[in-house]
Chain A
Amino acid sequence: MEKEISILVIGAHEEILTVILRLLNKMDNWNAIGVNSCEELIKQCSGKNFRVVLLGGGLSAEQEQAVKQYVVEKCPDTTLVPHYGGGSGLLYAEIYGALKTA
Chain B
Amino acid sequence: MYNKKLKIMAQTVLHTADSRGGADHGWLKSYHTFSFAGYYNPERLNFGALRVLNDDRVDGGRGFGEHPHDNMEIISIPLEGSLEHKDSIGNVGVIDPGEIQVMSAGTGIYHAEYNKNKNVPVKFLQIWVFPNKRNVEPRYDQQIIQTATHPNELVQILSPDKNDQGVWIHQDAWFNMGNLEKDHQVVYNFHKKESGVYVFVLEGSVSVDGQKLATRDGYGIWDTSAIEITADTDARILLMEVPMEF
Binding site for B on A (CB under 8 A): 11-13, 15-16, 19, 56-61, 64, 82-90, 92-93, 96-97, 100
Contact = CB atoms under 8 A, between A and B. Distances in A.
Contacts of B52: 89-90
18 contacts: A15-B108, A57-B71, A59-B135, A61-B134, A61-B135, A64-B135, A82-B71, A83-B71, A84-B130, A85-B70, A85-B71, A85-B72, A87-B69, A88-B37, A89-B52, A90-B36, A97-B42, A100-B42
Is chain B's interface secondary structure helix, strand, loop, or mixed overall?
A: loop
A29 B67 CA distance: 25
Contacts of B131: 84
A84 B110 CA distance: 15
B104 to A, nearest CB: 12
B40 interface: yes
B130 A19 contact: no
Contacts of A96: 40, 42
A53 B67 CA distance: 23
Interface of B: 35-38, 40, 42, 45, 51-52, 67-72, 105-110, 128, 130-131, 134-135
A89 B36 contact: yes
Contacts of B72: 84-86
A88 B69 CA distance: 9
Contacts of A57: 70-71, 105-108, 134-135
Contacts, number: 83
* List of 9 A-B pairs having minimum Cβ-Cβ separation, nearest first: A57-B70, A86-B70, A13-B108, A86-B69, A93-B35, A16-B68, A86-B68, A85-B72, A58-B107
A86 B105 contact: yes
Contacts of B70: 11, 13, 16, 56-58, 83-86
Contacts of A64: 134-135
A30 B75 CA distance: 31
Contacts of B106: 57
A29 to B, nearest CB: 16
Contacts of A92: 37-38, 40
A82 B36 contact: no
A13 to B, nearest CB: 4
B181 to A, nearest CB: 36
A44 to B, nearest CB: 21
Contacts of B36: 89-90, 93
Contact of A13 (B40, B51, B107, B134): B107
Nearest to B41: A93
Contacts of A56: 70
Contact of A90 (B51, B108, B134, B135): B51
A80 B71 CA distance: 17
A86 B71 contact: yes
Nearest to B52: A89
B107 A15 contact: no
Contacts of A87: 67-69
B45 A97 contact: yes
Nearest to A64: B134
Contacts of A88: 37
